[in-house]
Amino acid sequence: MHPVLFHIGPVTLYSYGLMLAIAFLIANYFLSIELRRRGLDPRIGGQITLICLIGGVAGSKLFSVLENWSDLVRDPLGQIFSPAGLTFYGGFLVCMVWIYFYIKRKGLRFLLFADMLAPVVLLAYGIGRIGCQLAGDGDYGIPSRLPWAMSYPQGTAKPTYTLIDYFKTHPLERAELHYDSLAAITVGHDQLGERISRFDQVVTVHPAPIYETIFCVLAFWFIWNYRKKFDAEIGKVFSITLVVMGVERLLIEFIRINPLYWGLSMAQWISVAMIAAGGWALAFYYPRQHTPIS
Confidence of residue 129 (pLDDT cuts 50, 70, 90): very high
Q: Which of 205, 235, 252 is the last residue of a domain?
A: 205
Structure confidence at residue 3 (pLDDT): 83
Distance CA 14, CA 269 (A): 31
pLDDT greater than 60 at residue 130: yes
Asked, for residue 127, whether it belongs to a domain, the answer is yes
Structure confidence at residue 98 (pLDDT): 85
Asked, for residue 182, whether it belongs to a domain, the answer is yes
pLDDT greater than 80 at residue 18: yes
Structure confidence at residue 134 (pLDDT): 93
pLDDT in tens, 53-76: 787 777 776 666 665 555 545 555
Q: What is the mean pLDDT of residues 207-225?
A: 97
Structure confidence at residue 210 (pLDDT): 97
Could you tell me if 221 and 184 lie in one domain? no
pLDDT in tens, 282-291: 988 776 655 5
Contact 187, 201 (CB under 8 A): yes
Confidence of residue 293 (pLDDT cuts 50, 70, 90): very low
Could you tell me if 97 and 177 lie in one domain? no
Could you tell me if 124 and 184 lie in one domain? no
pLDDT greater than 90 at residue 89: no
Could you tell me if 193 and 108 lie in one domain? no
Asked, for residue 260, whether it belongs to a domain, the answer is yes
Listed range (46-60, 91-105, 210-224, 265-279) with the worst mean pLDDT? 46-60
Contact 23, 10 (CB under 8 A): no
Contact 174, 167 (CB under 8 A): yes
Give the type of residue at 180.
D
Could you tell me if 251 and 137 lie in one domain? yes
Q: Which of 157, 180, 205 is the last residue of a domain?
A: 205
Average pLDDT, the chain: 86
Contact 235, 100 (CB under 8 A): no
Could you tell me if 156 and 133 lie in one domain? no
Distance CA 131, CA 8 (A): 20
Could you tell me if 105 and 201 lie in one domain? no
Q: Which of 182, 205, 228 is the last residue of a domain?
A: 205
Give phi and psi for 56, each to the nearest 5: -65, -45
Structure confidence at residue 291 (pLDDT): 52
Could you tell me if 61 and 177 lie in one domain? no
Structure confidence at residue 9 (pLDDT): 78
User: Pairing state of beta strands 11-14 and 186-189?
Assistant: unpaired
Could you tell me if 110 and 156 lie in one domain? no
| Percent of the chain residues past pLDDT 90, beyond the cut | 56
pLDDT greater than 90 at residue 266: no
In sequence order, which ranges of the chain are alpha helices (DSSP H)? 15-37, 43-67, 69-74, 76-81, 88-105, 110-135, 159-162, 164-169, 171-176, 179-183, 198-202, 208-226, 236-252, 266-280, 286-288
Could you tell me if 148 and 20 lie in one domain? no
Distance CA 32, CA 40 (A): 9
**CB atoms < 10 A from the CB of 211, how many?**
18
Could you tell me if 15 and 84 lie in one domain? yes
Burial class of residue 278 (count of CB atoms within 10 Å of its CB; 0-12, 13-18, 19+): buried
Asked, for residue 294, whether it belongs to a domain, the answer is no
Listed range (46-50, 110-114, 118-122, 214-218) with the worst mean pLDDT? 46-50
Give the type of residue at 92.
F
Distance CA 50, CA 44 (A): 10
CA-wise closest residue to 38 among 217, 285, 232: 232
Could you tell me if 262 and 127 lie in one domain? yes
Structure confidence at residue 294 (pLDDT): 47
Structure confidence at residue 259 (pLDDT): 82
Domain with 196 in it: 143-205
Distance CA 264, CA 172 (A): 22
Q: Whole-model pTM?
A: 0.86
| Percent of the chain residues past pLDDT 70, beyond the cut | 86
Distance CA 224, CA 119 (A): 7
pLDDT in tens, 138-197: 889 999 999 999 999 999 899 999 999 899 999 999 999 999 999 999 999 988 889 999
Asked, for residue 129, whether it belongs to a domain, the answer is yes
pLDDT in tens, 272-283: 999 999 999 998
Structure confidence at residue 218 (pLDDT): 98
